[in-house]
């Protein structure tokens, strides 16, 4: 009979850990959080020094009962929840839910922490237990109560002043501000024209290269010094008469170092750039790799370390494994004589003291591919390459720059299209007889880590500089062609998930483990939408942001939010008490909220005046905020005038032509059109009425669960024609597998079907069920 009861968060981990520990240990799962603040007013007793009133979650009651039953036969309880603040808090809540918050005779309660699910790590953790870290619990409680105080007081304010159902969040609202402010920058942006001129020059036949114009008459060219086609033509005509020679050749060696191993945020960013994964998908896929994968003879084992961390440290064992793998695969010249140590930028790195890395670096992605789904393999390969590359030698690059002088036989003329002689005389290039050009080339002399891995970029292409032919100073060059090119300045790009995560982290706002849920909430609340992986704010999101910035500026201020994050870190380090922190936040916040209740009027937020008059009754037209965004309406609607139109529509104009999407109809192959319907924008086949196919505009969200039928696609969330949610393979129509209930990546313990589904009934609560016909297994 097992004498030791171990509690982990996930059932997937429980089986693996029980196998490692042997027959004297029984391992059960808490299935995540067991207690939380109820989603209702009064869950924090402000008058009693912010005392939280936690309730056991309904879905957790059966798990608590199972743990209580197992405790009767155990004399030792090991709390092995995740190695971070959330995990520490779950252990603390679990003791309270079990009635063990005070140590009882006969039961030895210990906390064990491990950062990877391997036998050595588990055994070491069990042999080295500790008590619950109260400081970490307090930091998590402070965050939970702060989020509650903001959400359950500011959200009702938005209901009254804008419309019912809106929400505000301590970090969510700051993320929304970033997106909205970027949109305002884009709308205010005025493009500016500018030109560049390149020359295609030759040293000898077949040895040609490009050089860019950088200097005219001894004056270094700025970005906008060639503002139009006329100026560019004048320069081109003069350059056409020039004789070209090499005046200077500069060679230098550049060294390039690899990026550090992954933290939570850098993994989310890189998986977005290189794999196209959302933050949510990245974290759910990483969770599966961490919790354990069956790798054949090796059994089920965790393939990566804990995926919620701010640290870039690697253990000595990992460093040695990486060195051995690099030496064997690439040779001694690619391995370091001493390990490369990276410094963690975050002041209070997450309590898991290692970066995200493979638990066994010797297990290559190629070796494990047959055991992994495509998504699991892609992410494992990314983590493996980044980890190994960070311990490879630096790359050596040879960079050559060549300065070229063009002596002009014909001086640069006054530009003929100038308005008058006075204006033309101001041309800074007029009369110049000499120009300077420059060419640059980079050659990889020794690839080092670049042989395995190069970090992706966000919004610009990798700079590509080709190899230059050999040249000596004083050598003459032949002009083959002049290439003037028109450019226009571009507005700042909208945020992607990767760049938003990067910006939030740079400001020190939130925790990387929460970024996925924050971005998901912004889309679910229809504050933003994702199009081509970019965040676009919706009208209601802009209105909510304007309200918060205008009236609650302190609480959506980047520095204030980052400072509050640092105070939470101080609590986790035992440098600050959590309840005084809550009081410091609450008193000015609630005072301001009461003040704004009387100051802010709903009409000021949801109605904007225009200078137009209603064509039907002559009263002023206004811009109003509706459920589907902003629209034009008559201010006399209370008197019975029903005139409305879209904001973009002209008076009396016919409906705007639908925009052609890049998507193709999966039924007939015709282009899909973006149309505006009762419930927002959607895709409709341009072949209507012959083809009546319609689809949601936003691509279905993935569940991270591999299709059990084709084993290639992913089960994604979709809506039926009647609005009911279901989950089907994203390879449809090649694969037509579908489920009505939320799939869970967990094999049926009875029949082995690779997926089970989550069912929720009012009476029974939440439970798992096998969807395979003929199998009656449930987790009840």
Distance CA 772, CA 777 (A): 9
Which amino acids are annotated catalytic?
A: 306
Q: 272 with 378, same domain? A: yes
Residue 531 tokens, joined: 């199009």
- Looking at residue 34, which CATH number applies to its domain? 3.40.50.140
Distance CA 752, CA 442 (A): 55
Q: 533 with 567, same domain? A: yes
Q: Which of 194, 122, 163 is nearest to 628 (CA)?
A: 163
Identify the pLDDT of residue 651.
Answer: 41
* CB of 459 closer than 8 Å to CB of 419: no
Q: 226 with 245, same domain? A: yes
Identify the pLDDT of residue 661.
Answer: 72
Domain stop point among 132, 154, 175: 132
Q: 582 with 614, same domain? A: no
Q: Which of 716, 741, 740, 719 is nearest to 728 (CA)?
A: 716
Q: 112 with 19, same domain? A: yes
Q: 119 with 159, same domain? A: no
Please check whether residue 738 lies inside any domain of the structure. yes
Identify the pLDDT of residue 2.
Answer: 62
Output the DSSP codes for 367-433. Answer: HHGGGS-HHHHHHHHHHHHHHHHTTBPPEEEEEEEEEEEEEESSPPPPPTTSSSHHHHTT-TTTT--
- Looking at residue 592, which CATH number applies to its domain? 1.10.460.10
Q: 37 with 121, same domain? A: yes
- In the numeric block, the tokens 């670096």 are attached to 361
Count of the separate structural domains present in the chain: 6
Give first-to-last CA distance, the chain, whole Å.
24
Q: What are phi and psi of 580, to 5 degrees?
A: -60, -35
Which range of residues forms the domain containing residue 403? 193-257+395-488
Q: 375 with 458, same domain? A: no
In angstroms, what CA-CA distances link 445 with 207, 253, 550, 717? 21, 9, 56, 49
Distance CA 539, CA 261 (A): 39
Please check whether residue 273 lies inside any domain of the structure. yes
The half-sphere exposure of 672 on its side-chain side, counting CA atoms within 13 A, is 18
SS3 assignment, position 203? strand
Please check whether residue 678 lies inside any domain of the structure. no
Distance CA 364, CA 345 (A): 29
Please check whether residue 92 lies inside any domain of the structure. yes
Please check whether residue 244 lies inside any domain of the structure. yes
Please check whether residue 667 lies inside any domain of the structure. no
Residue 672 tokens, joined: 């899909």
Q: 428 with 466, same domain? A: yes
Q: 120 with 40, same domain? A: yes
Task: Report the share of the chain in percent with pLDDT over 70.
Answer: 91
Identify the pLDDT of residue 551.
Answer: 93
* CB of 150 closer than 8 Å to CB of 593: no
Domain stop point among 470, 488, 506: 488
Q: Which helix (DSSP H) or strand (DSSP E) does residue 151 occupy? A: helix 134-161
Distance CA 179, CA 223 (A): 28
| Residue ranges of the chain with per-residue pLDDT less than 70 | 1-2, 103-106, 345-352, 414-427, 457-466, 649-659, 662, 676-680, 697-700, 720-723, 762-765
Identify the pLDDT of residue 224.
Answer: 92
Q: 507 with 596, same domain? A: yes
* CB of 451 closer than 8 Å to CB of 393: no
Within a 10 A sphere around the Cβ of 760, how many other Cβ atoms? 11
Residues 6+ apart with CB under 8 A from 420: none
Distance CA 686, CA 248 (A): 60
Please check whether residue 681 lies inside any domain of the structure. no
Identify the pLDDT of residue 351.
Answer: 43
Please check whether residue 544 lies inside any domain of the structure. yes
- Looking at residue 373, which CATH number applies to its domain? 1.10.290.10
Q: 478 with 439, same domain? A: yes
């Amino acid at each position: 009979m097992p004498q030791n009861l171990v509690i982990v968060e996930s059932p997937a981990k429980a089986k693996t850990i029980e196998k490692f520990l042997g027959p004297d240990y029984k391992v059960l799962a808490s299935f995540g959080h067991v207690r939380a603040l109820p989603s209702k007013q009064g869950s924090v007793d402000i008058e009693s020094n912010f005392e939280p009133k936690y309730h056991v979650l309904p879905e957790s009651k059966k798990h608590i009962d199972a743990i209580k039953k197992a405790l009767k036969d155990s004399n030792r309880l090991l709390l092995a929840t995740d190695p971070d603040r959330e995990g520490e808090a779950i252990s603390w809540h679990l003791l309270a839910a079990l009635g063990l918050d005070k140590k009882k005779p006969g039961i030895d309660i210990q906390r064990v922490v491990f950062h990877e699910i391997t036998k050595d790590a588990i055994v070491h953790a069990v042999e080295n237990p500790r008590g619950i870290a109260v400081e970490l619990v307090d930091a998590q409680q402070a965050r939970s109560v702060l989020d509650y105080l903001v959400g359950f007081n500011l959200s009702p304010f938005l209901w009254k002043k804008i419309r019912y159902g809106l929400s505000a969040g301590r970090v969510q609202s700051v993320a929304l501000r970033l997106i909205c402010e970027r949109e305002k920058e884009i709308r205010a942006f005025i493009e500016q024209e500018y030109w560049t001129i390149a020359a295609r020059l030759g040293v000898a036949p077949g040895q040609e290269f490009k050089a860019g114009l950088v200097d005219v008459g001894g004056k270094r060219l700025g970005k906008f010094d060639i503002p139009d086609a006329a100026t560019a033509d004048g320069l081109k005509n003069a350059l056409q008469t020039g004789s070209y020679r090499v005046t200077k050749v500069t060679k230098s060696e550049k060294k390039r170092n690899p990026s550090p191993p992954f933290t939570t945020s850098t993994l989310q960013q890189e998986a977005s750039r290189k794999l196209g994964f959302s933050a949510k998908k990245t974290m759910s896929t990483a969770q599966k790799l961490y919790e354990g994968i069956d790798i054949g003879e090796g059994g089920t084992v965790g393939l990566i370390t804990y995926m919620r961390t701010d640290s870039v440290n690697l253990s000595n064992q990992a460093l040695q494994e990486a060195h051995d793998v690099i030496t064997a695969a690439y040779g001694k010249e690619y391995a370091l004589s001493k390990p490369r140590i990276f410094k963690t930028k975050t002041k209070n790195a997450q309590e898991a003291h290692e970066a995200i890395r493979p638990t066994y670096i010797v297990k290559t992605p190629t070796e494990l591919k047959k055991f992994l789904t495509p998504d699991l393999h892609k992410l494992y390969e990314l983590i493996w390459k980044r980890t190994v590359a960070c311990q490879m030698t630096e790359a050596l690059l040879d960079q050559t720059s060549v300065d070229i002088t063009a002596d002009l036989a014909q001086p640069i003329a006054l530009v003929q299209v100038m308005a008058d002689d006075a204006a033309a005389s101001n041309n800074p290039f007029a009369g110049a007889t000499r120009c300077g050009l420059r060419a640059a080339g980079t050659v990889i002399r020794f690839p080092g880590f670049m042989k395995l891995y190069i970090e992706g970029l966000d919004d610009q292409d990798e700079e590509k500089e080709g190899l230059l032919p050999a040249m000596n100073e004083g050598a003459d060059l032949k002009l083959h062609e002049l290439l003037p090119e028109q450019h226009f300045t571009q507005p700042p790009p909208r945020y992607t998930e990767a760049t938003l995560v990067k910006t939030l982290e740079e400001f020190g706002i939130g925790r990387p483990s929460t970024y996925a849920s924050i971005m998901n909430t912004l889309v679910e609340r229809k504050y933003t939408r994702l199009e081509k992986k970019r965040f676009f704010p919706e009208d209601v999101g802009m209105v909510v942001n304007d309200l918060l910035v205008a009236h609650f500026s302190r609480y959506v201020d980047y520095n204030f939010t980052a400072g509050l994050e640092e105070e939470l870190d101080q609590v986790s380090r035992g440098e600050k008490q959590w309840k005084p922190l809550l009081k410091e936040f609450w008193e000015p916040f609630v005072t301001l909220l009461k003040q704004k209740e009387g100051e802010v009027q709903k009409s000021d937020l949801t109605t904007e005046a225009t200078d137009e008059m209603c064509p039907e009754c002559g009263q002023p037209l206004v811009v109003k905020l509706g459920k589907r965004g902003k629209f034009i309406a008559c201010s006399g609607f209370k008197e019975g005038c029903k005139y409305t139109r879209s904001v973009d529509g002209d008076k009396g104009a016919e409906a705007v032509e639908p925009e052609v999407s890049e998507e193709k109809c999966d039924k007939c192959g015709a282009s899909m059109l973006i149309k505006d319907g009762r419930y927002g924008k959607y895709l409709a086949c341009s072949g209507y009425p012959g083809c009546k196919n319609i689809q949601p505009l936003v691509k279905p969200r993935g569940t991270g669960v591999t299709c059990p039928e084709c084993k290639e696609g992913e089960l994604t969330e979709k809506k039926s024609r009647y609005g009911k949610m279901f989950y089907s393979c994203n390879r449809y129509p090649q694969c037509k597998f579908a489920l009505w209930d939320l799939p869970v990546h967990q094999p049926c313990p009875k029949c082995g079907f690779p997926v089970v589904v989550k069912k929720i009934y009012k009476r029974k609560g939440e439970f798992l069920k096998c969807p395979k016909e003929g199998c009656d297994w449930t987790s009840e």
